[in-house]
Chain A
Amino acid sequence: MEMGMKIDLPPAATEPRDPSRTVPDGDPMVEIDHLRFYYSGKEAVKDVTLNFPKHKVSALIGPSGCGKTTLLRCLNRMNDLIDGVSHTGTIKISGLEIYESGHDVTELRKRVGMVFQKSNPFPKSIYENVAYGPRLQGIRKRSTLDEIVERSLKGAALWEEVKDRLGESALGMSGGQQQRLCIARAVAVEPEVLLMDEPCSALDPVATGKVEELLFSLKERYTIVIVTHNIQQAARVSDVTAFMLMGNLVEFGAARQVFTTPRDSRTEAFISGRFG
């Protein structure tokens, strides 16, 4: 999993926030402990305990309705926006409990960026899409914003394709470019964790390949958690893989182990396409 495109990133325009600097690479960055999550009393995530290691790609796989997207959305409290939800258990990100009362959700979402299934660029220029987050953080200086935009677009392997048309509307880009723009937008605020919910499901194989290659370079700076329905994609890009079924965590381990010697027969049946 060490292969892949390496991108030379220019130095950060501002000193990146890194409260996680005490977490060594590979150690738990996201710690989920006995998490149970309910939609109007119905248990969607059942007593899940697992850790996502720092600066690795972790994949969540499982059939539709298994709770993997719910679990992902717990990590930046996206589920808070839904009525009737409740949970027990804890989730810590670089050691901080994110559901603790008084925890600033806006601050959390700066630390935990998200890329969705369908690219959703703002109806603004390419430049403004990327500069949007840093502007909200109060960065006004043009040269600093320029540096952030260039660094983020390079980080998303998009710079060479768009550097001469940064002022054009993002809506004129191809689907694959739009998705990489959303990744650039997410990394512009230097999150610690990047959540990806089926980021390639609307992309063609070429664009999918570009996003997958991108993950190899992004994980050097970010901890990535990806939900995918594409088993082969999980096998290609993830360092660790979690298989969920009906809200339960069935198996969690190194991707090379899960995909070559799964311990649970249900995992084997799912990844080999014999059910699900």
Chain B
Amino acid sequence: MDSSSDRVAAPASTEAGALDRALLARIARQDQEALAALYDRHARVLYSLALRIVGDRELAQEVLQDTFLRCWNGAERYDPDRGHVMAWLTGVTRHRAIDLLRSRPHQARLREGGPLPAPDRLAGPRQPDAGETVLLRRAMTTALAALSPAQREAIELAYYDGLTQTEIARRQGEPLGTVKSRMRSGLERLRTALGPMIES
């Protein structure tokens, strides 16, 4: 085996966060390779998020494009004190997708639209996930499975469908206070389960 220099690194989540911050700093200097690298790291999760919210592949592509072009044009707006780069990108994607979800033309389009095109016809070649993505996916899936169905539903109705707590209470047929407690206890349980994986 070849010898190589020391590469004992920082904690995992810290390292991934540092890489993203470095890429964003380069993007602020209009480095196109850095934008490509950030896209390759996160596009799949962000596209999955956009698609889950808008339910339309073409619109999900619009959301993803908008997210990365906002990043390209406004990387300077990222404030590291306010969280991880991925949290920032997720927030931009979710806001854009929910805005689109609530827009009248989109609602009309969903009413008129047929079934979604098959993913394998439109998708690009599947790139392997990074090890950290595999780990996060496994951890989040495990953590969500440990929630009660009602806790999970309350969180997902708010996060993916953009419903308010009053709308969720109506949907679940429960008092508002119950829904508030569900959302809080659900998020606290997820945090306990994910622990330091999300601390950086």
| A and B interact | no
**Footprint of B on A, CB under 8 Å?**
none
